Chain A
Amino acid sequence: MVAHARELDPFECCGLLAGSNGTVRHHYRITNTVAKDARAAQVFEEAHVKGLSHLPDMTRAEVAYFMDPKEMLAAFKDMRQRQLDLTAIYHSHTGSPAYPSSTDIGLAYYPEAAYMIVSLQKKSQPDIRAYWIRDRQVVPAEFHSI
């Protein structure tokens, strides 16, 4: 996740982690299409979280992410074939702390997945944190590296 975030910095990266019984076994990098998909701005506006339409395309990917829907579908299909569940949804914050923004909270439609954020605010010291976001309530989620 850190490598992914660093590769795309200053743009936000995003992806999915799948596993079983809470143990991650597979990592999917998903393309951030916020700058390319016209519907992304509509989704943000529908949720009343962030106006994107006034931002130039390139800037949008520095402050937001929108997972490529086709890649998401393929990832979910692959999870079913591997008999894995969606464990976590991650993205990077390239210049802000690893805490969910109001945008992240307003667009959190997957209560069963931990939301992980990789902050590159301190470039040499990436900070990774995880949260449960349910009914707009944010609760830190524990995780361990094994």
Chain B
Amino acid sequence: MIKVRIPTPLRPLTRGQGEVEANGASVAEVIADLDSMHPGLKQRLYDERGELRRFVNIYVNEEDIRFLKGKETALKEGDEMSIVPAIAGGR
């Protein structure tokens, strides 16, 4: 099982839980498994082309998956995945 940290904006989909568990050998598989348990989650994370939305940061054991293999980054038992939306703005 992979432990996944859910950011507050997505917790309405996980019945308020900040940490959930899911199965999968890659980030994409874990997201698919999460979506089967918490429908709607995938749609919030992916754009219409099936790519991760730009403002969504995903970390595996604190490493940004952009610097690994993106959503194909491999996961193994006991790994932790964090989903953290970007914080940005300006005048």
Contact = CB atoms under 8 A, between A and B. Distances in A.
Interface size class of B (residues with CB under 8 A): 20 to 34
- Chain B, interface SS category: mixed
A54 interface: no
A101 interface: yes
Contact of B89 (A30, A76, A104): A104
B53 interface: yes
Contacts, number: 93
A69 B84 contact: yes
A107 B91 CA distance: 12
Contacts of B86: 43, 66-67, 69, 107, 109
A41 B65 CA distance: 19
Contacts of A44: 88
Contact of A64 (B54, B59, B89): B89
A112 B8 contact: yes
A95 B91 CA distance: 8
A34 B90 contact: yes
Given A43-B55, A109-B9, A73 B90 contact: no
Contacts of B85: 109-110
A67 B88 contact: yes
B72 interface: no
Smallest CB-CB A-B distances: 6 pairs: A64-B90, A104-B89, A109-B85, A67-B87, A66-B88, A46-B54
Given A14-B87, A63-B91, A101-B91, 12 more contacts: A12-B91, A30-B87, A44-B88, A45-B54, A69-B64, A73-B59, A76-B84, A101-B90, A109-B87, A111-B8, A113-B8, A115-B89
12 contacts: A12-B91, A39-B54, A46-B54, A63-B90, A64-B88, A64-B90, A65-B89, A67-B88, A103-B91, A108-B89, A110-B7, A110-B8
Interface of B: 7-9, 47, 53-55, 57, 59, 62, 64, 66, 82, 84-91
